[in-house]
Amino acid sequence: MRALVAGPEAEGRFAEVPEPAPGPGQALVEIHHVSVNFSDFRHMGRLPQSTVLGYDAAGVVLRAAEDGTGPGVGARVAAFGAGAWAERAAFGTGSIAVVPDEVDLVRAAALPMAGLTALRSLRAAGLAAGSRVLVTGASGAVGRLAVQLARRSGAHVIASVSRPERTHHLTADPAVEVVVGLDGVEPVDIAIETVGGPALVTAWSLLKPGGNLQSIGWASGQPATFPPNSTFSLGPARSLNSFGDVAAPAADLAHLLALMAAGDLSVEVGWHGSWEDFEDAKAAQLGGSVTGKITLKVGRVP
């Protein structure tokens, strides 16, 4: 079958690869659409050549798991797992969720990594009604989902973007405070930090005593330099955590898809095209020219 794989010098390329051989707890999925995450390209050079790329996918179950777990043949599913950018892939049934009829497969494919990261980082930070939550890089895929999920929980959300033109994607909810940069932001209980570099340092300085910062991205590519003594404060300890927990995602993925089906959560797709246009998608992702997720249609599927 055909797949997008890691090539020399951190380039992606098409290749013929062996058909997946699902284990007892795995379903074989025909992939219809996949989505691109910034990390897919940033870390491509660390992978052995010919490794099948990607993590986010949506499609249809071709063969149900032999152990009886998971959805049956013909089910529309979203999946999260390594090796997703292929015509077919085997996923553990703990990593797939049925897509409700109200959700199209393009948007389902755009959800897994960004949605799981937003949901679980807020949960790990101790989100509660009334919390003041700062989200940096709020116009990005994770940021926009974190803003929506925090608002649904009754938090006061400060959505920070880098440029004024990025604010219009966030101003539909009058309960969200949209800011450009971080100047003038009042102290917060939680920071969901996706930018890294100086933004990480500033977000840390805005934490209240007992507050938590979840560092889940480093889009800036810049170093973070903390001034002397800036990690000390009186009162309950502040904490900074790195976040990357995407283990056993099926239940949380199903929850997020249900929110989408009910109209309580939206994923913006800013660029959708054939996976034959992979190089264009890569340039758009790395160039920062697209707001929203980049998704690719696989092969000749509808």
Residue 156 and residue 77 share a domain: no
Average pLDDT over the chain reads 93
Kindly state whether residues 65 and 79 are assigned to the same domain. yes
Is 63 found in the same domain as 15?
yes
CATH classification of the domain holding 139: 3.40.50.720
Please report which confidence band the pLDDT of residue 292 belongs to, taking 50, 70 and 90 as the band edges.
confident
In this structure, the answer to whether residues 237 and 132 fall within a common structural domain is yes
Residue 227 pLDDT class (50, 70, 90 cuts):
very high
Does 238 lie in the same domain as 157? yes
Contacts of 263 (CB under 8 A, 6+ apart): none
Please check whether residue 197 lies inside any domain of the structure.
yes
Burial class of residue 91 in the structure, from the number of CB atoms within 10 Å of its CB (0-12 exposed, 13-18 middle, 19+ buried): buried
CATH number assigned to the domain comprising residue 54: 3.90.180.10
Q: Do residue 175 and residue 284 come from a single domain?
A: no
What percent of the chain is modeled with pLDDT above 70? 98
**Domain-embedded: residue 260:** no
**In this predicted structure, what is the pLDDT of residue 302?**
63
For the ranges 65-74, 236-245, 278-287, the lowest mean pLDDT is seen at 278-287
- Asked whether 28 and 22 are in contact (CB, 8 A), the reply is yes
Q: For residue 86, what are the domain limits?
A: 2-111+267-297
Give the pLDDT of residue 28: 98
Q: Is the pTM value of this prediction over 0.85?
A: yes
Residue pLDDT, tens place only, 52-93 = 999 999 999 999 999 999 999 999 999 999 999 999 999 999
Query: Does residue 189 belong to any structural domain of this protein?
Result: yes
CB 272 within 8 A of CB 106: yes
50 occurs within a structural domain = yes
In terms of domains, do 15 and 93 share one? yes
Instruction: Verify that 105 and 16 share a domain, yes or no.
Output: yes
The backbone region for 108, taken as left when phi is positive above 0, alpha when psi lies in -120 to 50, beta otherwise, is alpha
